[in-house]
């Protein structure tokens, strides 16, 4: 029986993780649930899974959660600092990090310090401070198992290949809802259009990142740190069907791919159960349904976020941190129809040009860079609105 702390339990990854738990009550037990502001769903989850504790990081929602669970023997905590405490409890075996964005960094570092196994779905943790996170994981002997479908695919391809050198990895991208579209079309798209992903069911922020290809750029940076790769060893290819989740090419030229239908419950289950593979009733891939699989090069000129992310990866230092912070701000603005689809790239690029570059940042430098980049990007959004109206 593995006892889980699910951070971000009300989001897309968190809810699907709980589906996996519900299907395997003999293997998994929920120890901790956390959410930011979705108090209603957190209460519902707590009533169903009876965790030892819940954490609501939006302190305005604390009283409602506490009152709703008062009849149950469930501890209720508030604030982000509580997350860094509960993940270190001896009663926690695995921490699933599914908090979106920079907000997930400190709880993951705390879990690493406690030597926990981490099922990592929060790619921004490694984008922002991958050097610090991975070195600390080595020092504390904390195992990080990726949950992102692409990184899970690479991880699975590397099992049993310890003695074989990686030549390169290939991350696949669906291309999102605007594959093949040009700027004259994209200039008019709204959030409602971008949220209609053809293959995956994800949260709003990640779905927008997929539409802009920023998600794939962030995944390149994440792969670099997770697998100890050089920049030149990471490639992106567009694969609209999302059946091949990623590939690894070894020094002899052989390619290994992990394939399957696009369903996030599979990499979630794999990360939680590793090294075992456990039964499930997920829909199976059938070649009769896919007589052709397509692959093409990404359009860096139209989807500039991928190029910006690649530039940040090559530059290193605090550049990926600035990229991520600016992206979080402009995506939020786009979802509120306060920024245009193509404007997001302009604002991210301007922010990256404005924040001072730090070649070897400390954790405090990353935090300061994140804060500064958010302020700059928010001001750019504000000015953009003024110019529109």
Pairing of β 94-97 and β 117-120: parallel
Residues 30-75 pLDDT 10s? 999 999 999 999 999 999 999 999 999 999 999 999 999 999 999 9
Pair 60, 78: CB distance under 8 Å? no
Residue 276 in any domain: the answer is no
Pair 107, 87: CB distance under 8 Å? yes
> Which of 176, 221, 188, 206 lies closest to 320, judged by CA?
221
Contacts 24+ apart (CB under 8 A), 289-297: 290/241, 290/243, 293/239, 293/241, 293/243, 293/244, 294/239, 294/240, 294/241, 295/172, 295/237, 295/238, 295/239, 296/237, 296/238, 297/237, 297/238
Q: In this predicted structure, what is the pLDDT of residue 111?
A: 97
Rounded Cα gap, residues 232 and 15, in angstroms: 36
Concatenating the DSSP letter of every residue in 346-362 gives HHHHHHHHHSPP-SS--
Same domain, yes or no, for 304 and 350?
Answer: no
Which of 119, 146, 173 marks a domain boundary? 146
Kindly state the DSSP code that residue 52 receives in the 8-state scheme.
S
Concatenating the DSSP letter of every residue in 141-195 gives T--EEE-SHHHHHHHHHHTT-TTS-EEEEEEEE--GGGTT--HHHHTT--HHHHT
Residue 278 in any domain: the answer is no
Which of 103, 118, 146 marks a domain boundary? 146
- CB-based contacts of 286, cutoff 8 Å, min separation 6: none
Phi and psi dihedrals of 275, rounded to 5? -90, 5
Q: Is pLDDT of 308 > 50?
A: yes
Average pLDDT estimate for 280-286 = 95
Q: In this predicted structure, what is the pLDDT of residue 14?
A: 97
Phi-psi region of 355 (alpha: psi -120 to 50; beta: other; left: phi over 0): beta
Question: Token digits for 81?
Answer: 């600092």
Pair 94, 118: CB distance under 8 Å? yes
Residue 277 in any domain: the answer is no
Residue 6 in any domain: the answer is yes
Q: What is the CATH number of the domain that holds 10?
A: 3.40.50.720
Residue 273 in any domain: the answer is no
Q: What is the mean pLDDT of the chain?
A: 95
Q: In this predicted structure, what is the pLDDT of residue 385?
A: 63
Pairing of β 255-259 and β 244-250: antiparallel
Kindly state the DSSP code that residue 133 receives in the 8-state scheme.
H
Rounded Cα gap, residues 100 and 98, in angstroms: 6
Same domain, yes or no, for 181 and 65?
Answer: no
Residue 348 in any domain: the answer is yes
Same domain, yes or no, for 224 and 320?
Answer: no
Average pLDDT estimate for 124-151 = 96
Phi and psi dihedrals of 57, rounded to 5? -80, -20
Same domain, yes or no, for 125 and 172?
Answer: no
Residues 150-197 pLDDT 10s? 999 999 999 999 999 999 999 999 999 999 999 999 999 999 888 988
Q: In this predicted structure, what is the pLDDT of residue 280?
A: 95
Same domain, yes or no, for 321 and 213?
Answer: no
Residue 200 in any domain: the answer is yes
Average pLDDT estimate for 320-348 = 96
The domain total for the chain is: 3
pLDDT band at 388 (very low <50, low <70, confident <90, very high): very low
pLDDT band at 387 (very low <50, low <70, confident <90, very high): low
Same domain, yes or no, for 164 and 289?
Answer: yes
Same domain, yes or no, for 203 and 217?
Answer: yes
Residues 83-104 pLDDT 10s? 999 999 999 999 999 998 888 9
Q: Is pLDDT of 198 > 80?
A: no
The whole domain housing 309 covers 149-264+284-314
Which of 124, 146, 168 marks a domain boundary? 146
Same domain, yes or no, for 138 and 177?
Answer: no
Same domain, yes or no, for 141 and 77?
Answer: yes
Residues 210-252 pLDDT 10s? 999 999 999 999 999 999 999 999 999 999 999 999 999 999 9
Q: Is pLDDT of 386 > 80?
A: no
Same domain, yes or no, for 174 and 219?
Answer: yes
**First and final CA of the chain: distance in angstroms?**
58
Rounded Cα gap, residues 318 and 221, in angstroms: 12
pLDDT band at 199 (very low <50, low <70, confident <90, very high): confident
Q: What is the CATH number of the domain that holds 343?
A: 1.10.1740.10
pTM here is 0.94
Whole-number Cα distances in Å, 68 to 43, 227, 266? 7, 43, 33
Give the three-state DSSP class for 218: helix
Dmax (CA) of the chain: 62
Tell me, rounded to whole angstroms, the distance of Cα 253 from its chain centroid: 30
Residue 91 in any domain: the answer is yes
Same domain, yes or no, for 309 and 186?
Answer: yes
Same domain, yes or no, for 331 and 388?
Answer: yes
């Amino acid at each position: 029986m593995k006892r889980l702390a699910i951070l971000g339990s009300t989001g897309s990854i968190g809810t699907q993780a709980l589906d996996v738990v519900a299907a395997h009550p003999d293997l998994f037990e929920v120890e901790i649930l956390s959410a930011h502001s979705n108090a209603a769903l957190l209460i519902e989850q707590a009533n169903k899974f009876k965790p030892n504790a819940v954490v609501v990081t939006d302190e305005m929602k604390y009283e409602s959660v506490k009152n709703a669970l008062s009849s149950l023997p469930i501890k209720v905590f508030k604030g982000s600092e509580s997350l860094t405490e509960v993940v270190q409890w001896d009663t926690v075996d695995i921490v699933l990090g599914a908090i979106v964005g920079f907000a997930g960094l400190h709880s993951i570092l705390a879990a690493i310090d406690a030597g926990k196994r981490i099922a990592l779905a929060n790619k921004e943790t490694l984008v922002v401070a991958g050097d610090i996170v991975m070195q600390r994981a080595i020092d504390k002997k904390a195992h990080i198992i990726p949950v992102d479908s692409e990184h899970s695919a690479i991880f699975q391809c590397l099992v049993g290949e310890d003695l074989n050198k990686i030549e390169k990895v290939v991350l696949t991208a669906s291309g999102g809802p605007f594959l093949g579209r040009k700027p004259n079309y994209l200039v008019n798209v709204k959030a409602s259009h971008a949220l209609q992903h053809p293959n995956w069911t994800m949260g709003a922020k990640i779905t927008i990142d997929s539409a802009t290809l920023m998600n794939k750029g962030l995944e390149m940076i994440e792969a670099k740190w997770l697998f100890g790769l050089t920049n030149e060893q990471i490639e992106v290819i567009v694969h609209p069907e999302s059946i091949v989740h990623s590939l690894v090419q070894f020094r002899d030229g052989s390619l290994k791919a992990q394939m399957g239908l696009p369903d996030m419950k599979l990499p979630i289950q794999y990360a939680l159960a590793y090294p075992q593979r456990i039964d499930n009733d997920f829909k199976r891939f059938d070649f009769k349904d896919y007589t052709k699989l397509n692959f093409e090069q990404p359009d860096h000129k139209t989807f500039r976020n991928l190029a910006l992310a690649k530039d940040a990866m090559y530059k290193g230092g605090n550049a990926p941190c600035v990229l991520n912070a600016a992206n979080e701000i402009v995506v939020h603005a786009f979802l509120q129809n306060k920024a245009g689809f193509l404007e997001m790239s302009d604002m991210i690029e301007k922010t990256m040009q404005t924040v001072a570059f730090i070649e070897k940042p400390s954790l405090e430098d990353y935090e300061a860079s994140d804060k500064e980049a958010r302020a700059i990007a928010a001001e750019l959004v504000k000015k953009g609105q003024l110019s529109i109206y």
